[in-house]
């Protein structure tokens, strides 16, 4: 019997406009970024708003938190990378990356770096401390839509816009800075990717409506999950590696059980594109955010 997840809390109108990104910190703060140009911090238990962070001029299309849950990073269409102090709910640092040079950002597992994808397809690594660009991973010229560090810190993966040769997922070796693997499963834009907690698998979601699970080390595709009727905008893996949640522009959230090898649930509580998903550290709760301005929290029946 697969684990069941139920909607435990819904925050309607959590932002003034569509919500585009979400992260769940290890200290159980939910960070959301919105088209209304704000970043908001929420208590994941009560759903209470802990603070609103302003500064971005345009929509906030990615947020992430560092491993110890003290900092958040956000990127916006205004090309600013902003680092926020989650303890005092205030701005910590601004990095100006230049127009469309920082599309989405992720903290490295050790929290020292931030990786961002750029319009040139390169992945830039910034130092959190200095705010300087410290390393560039050379892509293949296709706009880099999303990035992810493997939890062991060895790899950076990025998903790109559509490419005729289907090479839309790239995997770099952090130590050498070299391109290590190219995954050719999706010919259409890859908007989201996530590593399993043991760093062995890479999940990718694409406009081709599919989710693919790749062997990160060997580069082969393990499985393809289809079921969404529109673009897959977000994927997230639970810490135990059993569950993958996916959000789509078909307004649905799907939950896949990788052990049972099937879609175990489809949540249709959102009324617009589901742009972001985030799991808690234990892997028994997750949250989804959507263009319908709502945040939804889900938890296992046992949680």
Partner 1 sequence: MYHPHSSSTLEIPLKGSDNVLEISRSSLPTPAELFDILKAEEAPLRNYVLFALEYARQNNVDSAIKVLIDGLNVEYEPNPRPRLPLHNLLASLYIRKAYQPGINPHDRNTLWSEATKHLGAAEKINPKDDTTWISKGLLLLSRNSLDEAYRHFKQVLGENSRSIPALLGTARIHFIRENYVQALNCYRNVLKLQPDCIPNPRIGMGLCFYKLGMVEHAQKAFTRCIEMDGHDATAHVLLGIIEFNKCKHPDLSEDDMKQHYKAGFLHLKDAYAADKNHPVVGLYMSRHFAVIKNVDKAMAFATKASNANGLKNVQSEGFYILGRIHHQNERYLDAVACYQKAVTYNPDNLLAQFGFGQTLLFKQDIAAAISAFERILSKEPKCVEAIAILGSIYSRSSASKGKALEFFDRATNIIHERNTLSIQDPLMFTEMAQLLEQTDIPKTLKAYMFALGICGQKIDRGEFVEYMPELLNNVAAINHMDGRLDAAEGSYNKALDLCAAKGDDVDMATEATITTIRYNLARLYEERNEIQRAEEIYKDIAARYHGYADAHLRLGVIEQSRGNFEQAAELYKDVFGMIDNKNVDAWTLMGMLQQKQNQIRNSRKTLERIVKEINRHDVYALLALGNNHLGIAREEKDNMAMKQELYKKAFEFFDKVLKIDAYNAYAANGIAISLAVHGHHTEAREMFLQLREAASAIPTIWLNLALVSADMGQYRNAVLLYQSVSKKFFNNEDENVILSMAKAQYCLAKQEKSPEKMQQALAMAQRAFRLNPSDKTALYDIALIQQSYAQLVSDRASSERTVEDINNAMAGLNVAKSILKSLIAVPAKEHVYYERDIAAQREKHGDSLLNMLQRKLKDQEEFEAGKKKAMDETRRKREEEKAKKDEEERNERERREAEERAILERRRALDEGAKETQRELDEMNRERAERKRMVVSEDDLSDDGLDANGERESKKQKKDRKPREPKEPKEPKEPKEARKGKLRKKSELEGRARSKSMDRDDDGIHDDPTSQKSSSKKYKSKETIESDEDEMSD
Among 25, 243, 291, 293, binds partner 1 (CB under 8 A): 291
The residue to which tokens 């705010």 are assigned: 131
CB of 58 to partner 1, least distance (A): 6
Phi, psi of 214 (to 5 degrees): -110, 150
Does 162 interact with partner 1 (rule: CB under 8 A)? yes
**Binding to partner 1 by residue 293, rule CB under 8 A?**
no
Which CB, 78 or 265, lies closer to partner 1? 78
Q: How far, in Å, CA of 239 to CA of 196, rounded?
A: 7
Regarding 213 and contact with partner 1 (CB under 8 A), the answer is: no
**How far apart are CB 63 and partner 1 at their closest, in Å?**
14
CB 77 within 8 A of CB 33: no
Site size with partner 1, rule: CB under 8 A = 42
HSE (CB half, 13 Å, CA atoms) of 245? 29
Helix runs in the chain, H state only: none
User: What gap in Å lies between CA 288 and CA 275, rounded to an integer?
Assistant: 8
The reply to whether 231 sits near partner 1 by the rule CB under 8 A is: yes
Please, which residue, 128 or 145, has the CB nearer to partner 1?
Answer: 145
At 166, list the tokens: 């289907």
List C-alpha distances in Å: 66 to 127, 141, 152. 13, 29, 14
Range in contact with partner 1 (rule: CB under 8 A) among 72-80, 82-90, 107-115, 234-242: 72-80
**Binder among 10, 28, 91, 119 for partner 1 (CB under 8 A):** 119
Q: Decide: is 98 part of the binding site for partner 1 (CB under 8 A).
A: yes
Find the Cα–Cα–Cα–Cα dihedral 173, 82, 132, 86, rounded to 10°: -80
Distance CA 37, CA 78 (A): 9
Task: Give the C-alpha separation, 46 to 42, whole Å.
Answer: 8
Question: Residue 35 interacts with partner 1 (CB under 8 A)?
Answer: yes
Q: Judged by CB under 8 A, does residue 78 bind partner 1?
A: yes
Q: Which residues, numbered 8-27, are part of the site for partner 1 (CB under 8 A)?
A: 17-18, 20
User: Which segment (2-10, 130-138, 224-232, 277-285) binds partner 1 by CB under 8 A?
Assistant: 224-232
Tokens standing for residue 243: 């569950």
Question: Which position among 127, 166, 239, 300 is part of the footprint of partner 1 (CB under 8 A)?
Answer: 166
Binding flag, residue 286, partner 1 (CB under 8 A): no
Closer residue to partner 1 (CB): 135 or 166: 166
CB atoms within 10 A of CB 227: 17
Tell me: does residue 122 bind partner 1 (CB under 8 A): no
To the nearest whole angstrom, how small is the minimum distance from the Cβ of residue 154 to partner 1?
28
Asked if 51 is part of the footprint of partner 1 (rule: CB under 8 A), the reply reads no
CA torsion through residues 97, 103, 104, 106, sign? negative
Dig out the tokens for 126 from the structure: 């910034």
Q: Contact residues for partner 1 (CB under 8 A)?
A: 17-18, 20, 35, 57-59, 61, 77-79, 98-100, 103, 119, 143, 145, 161-162, 164, 166, 186-188, 207-210, 224, 226-231, 249-251, 272-273, 291
């Amino acid at each position: 019997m697969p684990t069941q997840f139920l909607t435990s809390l819904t925050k309607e109108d959590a932002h003034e406009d569509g919500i585009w990104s979400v992260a769940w910190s290890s200290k159980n703060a939910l960070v959301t970024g919105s088209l209304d140009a704000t970043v908001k911090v929420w208590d994941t238990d009560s759903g209470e708003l802990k603070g609103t962070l302003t500064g971005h001029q345009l929509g906030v299309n990615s947020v992430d938190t560092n491993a110890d849950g003290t900092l958040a990073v956000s990127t916006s269409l205004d090309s600013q990378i902003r680092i926020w102090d989650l303890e005092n709910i205030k701005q910590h640092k601004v990095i100006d990356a230049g127009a469309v040079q920082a599309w989405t950002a992720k903290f490295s597992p050790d929290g020292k770096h931030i990786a961002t994808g750029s319009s040139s397809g390169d992945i830039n690594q910034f130092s959190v401390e200095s705010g300087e660009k410290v390393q560039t991973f050379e892509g293949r010229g296709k706009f880099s839509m999303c990035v992810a560090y493997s939890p062991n810190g060895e790899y950076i993966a990025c998903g790109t816009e559509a490419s005729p040769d289907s090479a839309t997922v790239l995997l770099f070796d952090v130590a050498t800075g070299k391109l290590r693997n190219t995954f050719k499963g999706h010919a259409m834009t890859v908007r989201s990717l996530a590593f399993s907690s043991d760093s062995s698998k890479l999940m990718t979601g694409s406009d081709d409506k599919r989710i693919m699970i790749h062997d990160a080390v060997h580069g082969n595709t393990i499985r393809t999950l289809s079921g969404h009727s529109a673009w897959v905008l977000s994927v997230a893996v639970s810490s135990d590696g059993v569950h993958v949640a996916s959000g789509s522009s078909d307004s649905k959230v799907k939950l896949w059980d990788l052990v049972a090898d099937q879609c175990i649930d489809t949540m249709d509580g959102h009324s617009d594109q589901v742009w972001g998903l985030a799991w808690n550290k234990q892997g028994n709760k997750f949250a989804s955010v959507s263009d319908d301005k709502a945040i939804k929290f889900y938890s296992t029946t046992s949680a």
